[in-house]
Amino acid sequence: MYKTPPAGPRNTVNRAISGLFGALLLAASSSSFAATDTTIKVALFMPNSGPFASLGARQINGMKLALDEAGHAAGGKKIETVEIEEPTDVQAAVQKIKSITTGGDRVDALLGIFSASVGSAIRDQLHASKTITVITNTHIRNLTGSRKSPYIFRVSGTSWGLTQALPSWVVKKGVCKSIVTIASNYSAGQEFGKYFAEGFEKAGGQVIDKLWPALGSTDFSSYLTKIGQAKPDCVYPWLNGPDAIRFVQQFDQFGLKKQGIRIVGDAVTDPVTLQAQGLSAVGLYNVQPWDASQDNKVSKAFVAAYKKRYNADPDFHAFNGYIGTKALLASIAGVKGQVGDTEAWRAALRATSFPTPDGKNFAFAPETQTRRIGYSILEVVDLGGKPGFKFIGSLPQASDPGDDIVP
């Protein structure tokens, strides 16, 4: 059996050295905690390469503008940001999230998430690490529904919420009584195509056909032939980026626009893709959470500030990044920078409210922690040889009840 050696000169010296070393470690540790106690670290998680790089960049721009306006501080603490590229490979994404939610490099909060597949893959790690997360893009429904976490919030809305806004409006206004849907054949496209069709039929419309091209399709001729043969009032495409540009151009080239078939959608156009789509997009009805053409004081101030900083007009991607960051900053101020109390911080984020550029007050639905959104209806018009958006009106604020609840 091990016995404690008797006290003696050598043992006494060892104890003194040990005590001094421990004191030095404690001092170093205290100094380290004191330094980090003045800073809150936030990850900006968005793609910066690949087909969605430009969309991710606009969201990052919105985030940075909100941080600039706040002086990169909230609740008496400095806000330090780290930009993390969102990879397309889900396993690589999981590893990245693990590296920033555990250990010494841990961040206090995360803003972003673009891809549905990445969002699904990293959800469990964000939940397990209790990392406060504000989703600014991905619309996959279960992240704030059947897989909801008390630490995950969303400002971008969901596939269900977005697709319920437009179909009821187009049917009620007599724009479309029949439709063909065409959506990229992957998780997000499948959700949007499914929910739009359900919403359209619920509103009293007829879905003639559902088409599923591969993501990254360059030739839509076979699908356009089917649409022409079906002769619907409208077509609902859920296509992003280059796919959306090619579809709108080819739709016009095939003469479907001249036949009187109208495009109605949500992801199919935005201020950047619209310029590439050109006048082929004129007549298209689109639903977005916000557009720069909205005429209110907060919107005008946001547009002016964004233009001054980036020499460009903001779109709804920049808008989502901006308001998501403002909500996070408001919650930090709400707990006076004491983000170590995760439950108090979460409660402050759930309760945050402020005027937003869409002319409404920011609010999360407490059941799902998804922002209540009053979507804007826009029409693409010819502005002297260039396409532009005309604001038609906005719908009442609503939020997805979650895929684990029957609406």
5 pLDDT more than 60:
no
Write the DSSP assignment of 75-100 as a string of letters. Answer: TTEEEEEEEEE--SSHHHHHHHHHHH
Residue 209 and residue 145 share a domain = no
* Domain identity same for 127 and 197: no
pTM for this predicted structure: 0.83
Q: Which tens digit of pLDDT belongs to each residue from 39-97?
A: 999 999 999 998 789 889 999 999 999 999 999 999 999 999 999 999 999 999 999 99
Q: Do 127 and 274 fall within a single domain?
A: no
Tell me how far the alpha carbon of residue 393 is from its chain's centroid: 23
Beta strands 234-238 and 262-265, pairing class: parallel
Give the CB-side neighbour count of residue 297, counting CA atoms within 13 A. 2
Based on the domain organization, do 318 and 351 belong to the same domain? yes
Radius of gyration of the chain measured on its C-alpha atoms: 25
Domain assignment of residue 47, yes or no: yes
Give me the pLDDT at residue 406, please.
58
The answer to whether residues 164 and 276 belong to one domain is yes
pLDDT the model gives residue 394: 82
Q: How far apart are CA 261 and CA 259, in angstroms?
A: 6
Whether residue 75 is contained in a domain is answered as: yes
168 burial (CB, 10 Å; 0-12 / 13-18 / 19+) is middle
Asked if residue 209 and residue 322 are part of one domain, the reply reads no
Greater pLDDT, 152 or 289: 152
The answer to the question of residue 406 being in a domain is no
362 and 388 assigned to the same domain: no
CATH number, domain with residue 250: 3.40.50.2300
Tell me the helices (H) and strands (E) count for the chain, helix number first.
12, 15
Q: Which two tokens stand for residue 27?
A: 């001092």
23's CB contacts (< 8 A; 6+ apart) are: none
Using alpha carbons, list the distances in angstroms from residue 111 to 40, 143, 222, 323: 13, 15, 40, 11
Cα separation, 206 vs 336, in Å, equals 53
For residue 11, what pLDDT is reported? 41
Where residue 404 falls among pLDDT bands split at 50, 70, 90? confident
Distance CA 325, CA 110 (A): 10
Note down the domain range covering 61: 39-157+294-371
Overall average pLDDT of the 285-297 stretch: 90
Give the Cα separation of 47 and 396 in Å (integer). 32
